[in-house]
Chain A
Amino acid sequence: MRHLDEYRDPVAIRSVLDRIDGALAGPATLMEVCGGQTHAILKFGLDQLLPERLRLIHGPGCPVCVTPLEQIDRALAIAAAPDVTFCSFGDMLRVPGSTGDLLLAKARGADVRIVYSPMDAVAIARREPDRRVVFFAVGFETTAPANAMAALTAAREGLGNFSMLVSHVLVPPALKALLGAEDCQIDGLLAPGHVCVVTGQRDYEDLSARFHIPIVVTGFEPLDLLSGVLAAVTQLARGEAGVENQYARVALPDGNAAAMRTVREVFDVCDRKWRGLGEIPASGFGFAPAFAHLDAERVFGVSELRVEEPDDCPSGLVLQGRLLPTACPHFGKRCTPDHPLGAPMVSVEGACAAYFHYGREAVAAEEACA
Chain B
Amino acid sequence: MKPDGLESMAAGLACPLPIEEDSIVQLAHGGGGRKTAHLVDSLFLPAFASPALDQLGDGAVFDVGGQRLAFSTDSFVVQPVFFPGGNIGSLAVHGTVNDLAMCGAEPLALSAGFVLEEGFSMDDLRRIVAAMAAASAEAGVPIVTGDTKVVNRGRGDGIYVNTSGIGRVRDGIQVGPDRARPGDAVLVSGPVGDHGIAVMAARSGLEFHTTLLSDSACVLPLVRALLDAAPATRTLRDPTRGGLATALCEIAISSGVGVSLDEDAIPVRREVRAACELLGFDPLYVACEGRFLAVVPAADCEQVLAALRALPDGDAARRIGEITDGTPGRVVLRTGLGSHRRLERLSGEQLPRIC
**Chain A interface residues (CB < 8 Å from chain B):** 1, 4, 8, 10, 13, 36, 42-46, 48-49, 63-64, 89-94, 96, 99-101, 103-104, 106-108, 114-116, 120, 138-140, 142-143, 194, 222, 311-312, 314, 317, 322-324, 327-330, 334, 336-339, 341, 348-349, 356-360, 362-363
Query: Among B3-11, B81-89, B185-193, B227-235, which stretch is in contact with chain A?
Result: B3-11
Does chain A have a CB within 8 A of B123?
no
* Other-chain residue from A1, A49, A106, A363 in contact with B338 (beta carbon distance below 8 A): A49
* C-alpha spacing A350/B296, complex, angstroms: 38
**Contact pattern, B 319-355, Cβ under 8 Å of A = 1, otherwise 0:** 0000000010010100111111111100110011111
Task: Note all chain A residues with C-beta closer than 8 A to B156.
Answer: none
* C-alpha spacing A338/B352, complex, angstroms: 17
Task: Note all chain A residues with C-beta closer than 8 A to B13.
Answer: 312, 330, 334
Q: Are B330 and A327 in contact (CB under 8 A)?
A: no
With A49-B337, A329-B6 known as contacts, the answer to whether A89 contacts B17 (CB < 8 A) is: no
Task: Note all chain A residues with C-beta closer than 8 A to B21.
Answer: 100-101, 104, 339
Q: Are B206 and A194 in contact (CB under 8 A)?
A: no
Q: Are A357 and B353 in contact (CB under 8 A)?
A: no
CB B202 to nearest CB in A, in angstroms, measures 14
Q: Are A359 and B6 in contact (CB under 8 A)?
A: no
CB B4 to nearest CB in A, in angstroms, measures 11
**Contact pattern, B 54-94, Cβ under 8 Å of A = 1, otherwise 0:** 00000000000000000000000000000000000000000
Q: Are B355 and A116 in contact (CB under 8 A)?
A: no
Does chain A have a CB within 8 A of B224?
no
Does chain A have a CB within 8 A of B172?
no
Task: Note all chain B residues with C-beta closer than 8 A to A341.
Answer: 17
Query: In this complex, what residue of A is CB-closest to B273?
Result: A1
* C-alpha spacing A103/B17, complex, angstroms: 17
Task: Note all chain B residues with C-beta closer than 8 A to A323.
Answer: 1-3, 6
Interface centre among B1, B16, B348 (most CB of A within 10 A): B1
Task: Note all chain A residues with C-beta closer than 8 A to B354.
Answer: 63-64, 89, 91-92, 138-139, 143, 348-349
Query: Among B25-33, B212-220, B287-295, B298-306, which stretch is in contact with chain A?
Result: B25-33
Q: Are B1 and A103 in contact (CB under 8 A)?
A: no
* C-alpha spacing A100/B38, complex, angstroms: 19
Q: Are A116 and B347 in contact (CB under 8 A)?
A: no
Does chain A have a CB within 8 A of B19?
yes
CB A50 to nearest CB in B, in angstroms, measures 10
Task: Note all chain B residues with C-beta closer than 8 A to A42.
Answer: 341
CB A53 to nearest CB in B, in angstroms, measures 16
Q: Are A359 and B342 in contact (CB under 8 A)?
A: yes
CB B86 to nearest CB in A, in angstroms, measures 24
With A139-B355, A348-B351 known as contacts, the answer to whether A357 contacts B344 (CB < 8 A) is: yes
CB A283 to nearest CB in B, in angstroms, measures 18
Task: Note all chain B residues with C-beta closer than 8 A to A106.
Answer: 27
With A8-B336, A104-B21 known as contacts, the answer to whether A91 contacts B7 (CB < 8 A) is: no
* Other-chain residue from B2, B339, B348 in contact with A337 (beta carbon distance below 8 A): B348
Query: In this complex, what residue of B is CB-closest to A357?
Result: B344
Q: Are A330 and B6 in contact (CB under 8 A)?
A: no
With A114-B351, A359-B344 known as contacts, the answer to whether A4 contacts B339 (CB < 8 A) is: no
CB A227 to nearest CB in B, in angstroms, measures 14
Task: Note all chain B residues with C-beta closer than 8 A to A334.
Answer: 13, 16-17
Query: In this complex, what residue of B is CB-closest to A333?
Result: B10
* C-alpha spacing A241/B13, complex, angstroms: 44
Task: Note all chain B residues with C-beta closer than 8 A to A64.
Answer: 354
Does chain A have a CB within 8 A of B144?
no
* C-alpha spacing A93/B1, complex, angstroms: 32
Q: Are B355 and A36 in contact (CB under 8 A)?
A: yes
8 additional contacts (CB under 8 A) given A94-B351, A338-B348:
A44-B337, A44-B339, A46-B337, A63-B355, A104-B21, A222-B337, A312-B9, A317-B6
With A90-B351, A329-B10 known as contacts, the answer to whether A116 contacts B337 (CB < 8 A) is: no
* C-alpha spacing A49/B2, complex, angstroms: 25
Q: Which 6 A-B pairs have the closest CB atoms?
A: A359-B342, A45-B339, A90-B351, A329-B10, A337-B347, A348-B353
Task: Note all chain A residues with C-beta closer than 8 A to B343.
Answer: 359
Does chain A have a CB within 8 A of B122?
no
Q: Are B1 and A327 in contact (CB under 8 A)?
A: yes
* C-alpha spacing A4/B24, complex, angstroms: 42
Task: Note all chain A residues with C-beta closer than 8 A to B336.
Answer: 8, 10
* Other-chain residue from B24, B273, B352 in contact with A107 (beta carbon distance below 8 A): B24
Task: Note all chain B residues with C-beta closer than 8 A to A348.
Answer: 280, 351, 353-354
Q: Are B337 and A311 in contact (CB under 8 A)?
A: no
Task: Note all chain B residues with C-beta closer than 8 A to A108.
Answer: 24
**Contact pattern, B 208-246, Cβ under 8 Å of A = 1, otherwise 0:** 000000000000000000000000000000000000000
Q: Are A91 and B19 in contact (CB under 8 A)?
A: no
Task: Provide 24 A-B residue pairs closer than 8 Å at the C-beta atoms, listed in order of the A residue.
Answer: A4-B273, A10-B336, A44-B341, A48-B339, A89-B352, A89-B353, A91-B280, A91-B352, A101-B19, A103-B27, A140-B355, A317-B3, A327-B1, A327-B2, A329-B10, A334-B13, A334-B16, A337-B34, A339-B17, A349-B353, A356-B344, A359-B342, A362-B327, A363-B340
